[in-house]
Amino acid sequence: MRIVIAGGHGQIALRLERLLAARGDEAAGIIRNPGQSDDLRAVGAEPVVLDLESATVEEVAEVLRGADAAVFAAGAGPNSGTARKDTVDRGAAVLFADAAERAGVRRYVVVSSMGADPDHAGDEVFDVYLRAKGEADADVRSRAALDWTILRPGMLTNDAGTGQVLLAASTGRGPVPRDDVAAALVELLDTPATAGLTLELISGNVPLAVAVKDIAGN
């Protein structure tokens, strides 16, 4: 498969790219900073330099054409202000979905956030972030032209992945290693029957492949 990943230098994205490349898939990561290109090449991914805050739909669609799936894993980052929560966490996600539709890429997987809600109240930066992610998720869920899956991980850690998770429409709060989030994305990409699901992910006691098969069967 050829998978195009928005936010290609993110911590989860780099892990995902490494997993995809290791099994022989083509992973292309969209990055804004050309200085990050070598990091993507080091994990076996193709760097694509494009700023999703200023690119046109057609420019992004050109990158997506011929891909088997698109993964939105971009984020403004923890040190960004409220303005970039809107332009990246919401705006870039909508742009990427528009481009996927234009390029004819149906499979669309989103890395969202637990607690994302377009009606989330509050004015702190994290409140604005959860609202922006919720608005982006709502936009994606409205699109009949996309076979979307939205993954909402719990508190992200850099602990080694265990491959043991709890994956459900609602899991409750909990931590999850970034390794396991990346591995879950691979399983979701391989399981088209998860299209149309919004899922929460935390560490648990069910093997990841089993958890995805179980949720796809519901």
Half-sphere exposure in the Cβ direction for 163 (13 Å, CA): 3
108 annotated active-site: no
**Tokens coding 17:** 């790219």
Alpha-helical regions (H) of the chain: 11-22, 37-42, 57-64, 82-84, 93-103, 125-141, 178-189, 208-216
Q: What is the three-class DSSP state of 58?
A: helix
Q: What is the three-class DSSP state of 200?
A: strand
The one catalytic residue in 6, 129, 189, 203 is 129
How deeply is 98 buried, as exposed, middle or buried, from its count of CB atoms within 10 A (0-12, 13-18, 19+)? Answer: middle
Catalytic residues: 129
